[in-house]
Amino acid sequence: MSDKATTKIHRRPMSPTDTADFEGHPPPVFLEAINLESLLNHLEDARPSIIADISEDQTPPARYIIGQELGSGSVGQVIEARDQHLGRQVAIKILHDGEGLSRDGIARFVAEAQITAQLEHPSVVPVHEIGIMPGGMLYFSMKLVKGRSLGDVINHLRIGDREFRRAYNYLARLRLFQRICQGMAYAHAKGVVHRDLKPGNIFIGEFGEVQIMDWGLAKTVKSPLPDFDEDPVATVRQASGMNTMGGAIAGTPAYMSPEQARGDYIHIGPQSDVYALGLILAEFMSLTRVYRQATFQATLEAARSPKGEVDIRALAPRATFSHGVDRVIRKATHPDIEQRYSHAGELSTDIAKLIEEQLPPSSIKRSIKPDDYDEDLDMSGNTHEDEADNSDEKDRPASWRPYLIGAAAMLAVQIIVYLLW
């Protein structure tokens, strides 16, 4: 493949009857010899079969039968398909065709598949394989996620949907958000920054599973956890020397960190995702989006120069929020990178503390409370010193008070009757 500015990905015609099994040479050793060109050559030699019409002649049988479109964007489209080999429904993302595609655009599509596939975590959608369709277009297949986006959930909560209000109470929202943080904590440990976290890219499955989608803008960086023993994520963009994009602004302005909105590529790292997570948490809890400007440019300008940390109480003045969740959001959305959580794992830890304080008190809960518990994150807004001052009052069983009052009243009545008699 040439190094021209634009490169056509089409090579030689393929028919629906191409073999469904991988043939040709074994794949090159990843990443020692692999680059964009060698990978595309290997995929063309392998070329698994994929067809759009089950009535077509299949000799041998095709692996994928194309179904309905699930979504479409500027880069590609996602369609539902039937995997004939494994007997399951999958989602297939296809790179859009055109007069010519840039070499970097093709590499970014391949890198998205490779990054997603290497992030083997329950909160990251699994990728099954990558290949070239008949006609020459790249695709990769992945798990078909059935459910709704977090953005859809927030919209239902905004309009006061009772079913959603019951399902997503205060504690449920914190628990769901923690699962998002756990998925991003793993990505950050592997040296991957998402760069486009937003409610529309987070899906909640029919059984409550959380899936972080659309890693097309992901950036690979050095892991913030030096002792993390898993291999870092590697892609053809790194091997082909295309893992830089200085000055470019990519993402969704309403959920961008200041450095990302300014195109400060060098400083975009895990803390940038933390900022987006802070914006998502603020919106999920208050049901009010932080940046609500009318135009793309106005939103971008607001994101570039925030006035300070996000104040959730200002977003929803009539609502009541704990001191703990307010502090977490402020720390996650601090304009200064150094003042934020350094990665999503730290944010997840503090969310876990908030969840613990929402659970009913018990001796078991008190016995497993970590030694480094931060009293400032108490959900009631009181420190544990305040609790100690009121311990005598709290230790008295509240259920006895009505009986004591009633007994005293009856005794008083009896005394009055006796005196009158």
Would you please indicate which residues are annotated as catalytic (active-site) residues? 196
What does the block give as tokens for 156?
């239902």
- Residue 177 CA to residue 284 CA, distance in Å, equals 9
248's enclosing H/E stretch is: none
Region at 54 (left for phi over 0; alpha for psi -120 to 50; beta for the rest): alpha
- Residue 415 CA to residue 421 CA, distance in Å, equals 10
- Give the ranges where 205-309 is alpha helix by DSSP (H): 236-239, 258-261, 270-286, 296-304
Contact 344, 185 (CB under 8 A): yes
Tokens 């304080």 label which residue? 357
What does the block give as tokens for 380?
């009631």
93's enclosing H/E stretch is: strand 88-95
Give which of 110, 107, 126 is closest to 118, Cα–Cα: 126
Which residues are registered as beta bridge partners of 64? 50, 83
Contacts of 107 (CB under 8 A, 6+ apart): 36, 235, 236, 237, 240, 242
What does the block give as tokens for 41?
């050559």
The gap from C-alpha 397 to its chain's centroid, in whole angstroms, comes to 44
Tokens 């191409």 label which residue? 18
